[in-house]
Amino acid sequence: MALTELTGNLHMHTPYSDGEWHHADIAEAALRAGLDFIIVTDHNVWVDGVTPYHSSDDGKRRVLVLTGEEVHDQALQPQSNHLLVYNAGREVAALAHDPQQLLDGVNAAGGLSFLAHPFDSTAPLVDYDPIHWRRWDATGFTGIELWNYMSEFVGLVTSPAAALKYGANPELGIKGPRAETLNKWDELTAAGRRIVAIGNSDAHGATYHKFGRSAVIFPYEMLFRAVNTHVLLSNELTNNAEHDSNRIYTALREGHCFVGYDAPGPTRGFRFSAQGEKGSAIMGDEVVAGAGVTLQVSAPAKAEIQLLRNGKPVAQKLADTNLTHITSTPGAYRVEVYTVFKGERRGWIFSNPIYIR
Ligand SMILES: [Zn+2]
Ligand SMILES: [Zn+2]
């Protein structure tokens, strides 16, 4: 089955909360960066009525602009439990005082929810309190934000020298999702839960004056060329925004997506699939173990490919575009791909799991 791949970024802010640019200008930046869709997520406000499709001047490309919301309890100190909400179709911030009530409300509205930067970075130099997810007892969330670019960047600012170095060239410091986040994800999926991972910019378009004496600038466009979520659809998009957004949300809910760091090289084209005696599966799906399942990985360029089961390595290729592994052992299987960029080994692609049952 030929799949349609859409590159998207699902976490960013406008002046409706603490971002710099409005939707139309962010859409232009997304077009220039080659994105197919974005979901704008202002803090505690769902901005409805945004023009969905924006086209490039030559009419050859377009980007779909959707709006969700990043919800948190504004009375809670220190700040915790930021939740990305998509497709709820209504304002849900009033439920934020109780994460379980919020998750239940999102589900009742047919929405999706992802724990934003669940293990955030600490940055003592800039007096920044990490905003962790603290309510792991709450259930019913769709997934987690596995990799948040701005959260990772904040963690690099450990000294004035580091602020100068990484402020001038953030890609020198960006390495991959936090180990705690990966471990927690593996713990949940090994216990039998289906947890979808996404990766985002958390773009604000802001200039960070606090980091030492350097003015650190993170334009939307630069961030849209970095950590993205690539979604796989079974059909092409139409011109109907409601229809198309439903396709995207369904694919996200199913985990038919992977996290790609597109700065070292385009991650478009990555695939992870399974063939069992009772059918085939792509990322996010379940497949019956039966007499054996063939797992197949295809990377867009030669790279280090790691296949993990419940978080433990089971197969690897050090410099290849393909990996094949046959197994009848149940578990959550996922792929990490590493590449060398700016002289160092860096996380490049993180797949969603295929669940062998
Ligand atoms: Zn947040
Ligand atoms: Zn945010």
pLDDT tens digit string along 296-317?
Answer: 999 999 999 999 999 999 999 9
Q: What is the pLDDT of residues 1-31, one digit of tens each?
A: 689 999 999 999 999 999 999 999 999 999 9
pLDDT reading at 41 higher than 70: yes
Q: How far is the CA of 11 from the centre of ligand 2 (A)?
A: 6
pLDDT of residue 299: 98
Q: How far is the CA of 235 from the centre of ligand 1 (A)?
A: 32
Name the DSSP letter for residue 122: P
Determine the Cα–Cα distance for residues 133 and 240; give it in Å rounded to an integer.
36
Q: Which residues surround ligand 1, an ion (CB under 5 A)?
A: 82, 116
Q: How confident is the model at residue 212 (pLDDT cuts 50, 70, 90)?
A: low
Burial of 200 (0-12, 13-18, 19+ CB in 10 A): buried
| Range name among 73-77, 162-166, 264-268, 346-350 with the lowest pLDDT average | 162-166
Q: How confident is the model at residue 216 (pLDDT cuts 50, 70, 90)?
A: low
Q: How far is the CA of 59 from the centre of ligand 2 (A)?
A: 31
Q: What is the pLDDT of residues 130-186, one digit of tens each?
A: 999 999 999 999 999 999 999 999 999 888 899 889 988 999 999 999 999 999 999
Q: Cα angle vertex 312, ends 306, 315, to 5°?
A: 35
Q: How far is the CA of 66 from the centre of ligand 2 (A)?
A: 15
Q: What is the pLDDT of residues 315-331, one digit of tens each?
A: 999 999 999 999 999 99
Q: Cα angle vertex 263, ends 262, 268, to 5°?
A: 20
Cα dihedral sign, 175-178-179-184: negative
What CATH number does domain 4-263 carry, 3.10.100.10, 3.20.20.140, 3.40.50.720, 3.40.50.300?
Answer: 3.20.20.140
pLDDT of residue 129: 85
Q: How confident is the model at residue 357 (pLDDT cuts 50, 70, 90)?
A: very high
**Residue 342: strand, helix, or coil:** coil
pLDDT of residue 141: 98
Ligand nearest to the CA of 204: 2
Q: How far is the CA of 286 from the centre of ligand 2 (A)?
A: 31
pTM for this predicted structure = 0.97
**Residue 332: strand, helix, or coil:** strand
Ligand nearest to the CA of 201: 2
pLDDT of residue 323: 98
| Backbone dihedral angles phi then psi of residue 313, each to the nearest 5 degrees | -60, 135
Average pLDDT estimate for 77-93: 96
Q: Are 357 and 288 in contact (CB under 8 A)?
A: yes
Q: How far is the CA of 256 from the centre of ligand 1 (A)?
A: 24
pLDDT reading at 202 higher than 70: yes
pLDDT reading at 96 higher than 70: yes
Q: How far is the CA of 151 from the centre of ligand 1 (A)?
A: 9
pLDDT of residue 214: 52
Break the chain into its structural domains and give their ranges.
4-263, 270-335
Ligand nearest to the CA of 72: 1
pLDDT of residue 210: 55
Q: How confident is the model at residue 278 (pLDDT cuts 50, 70, 90)?
A: confident
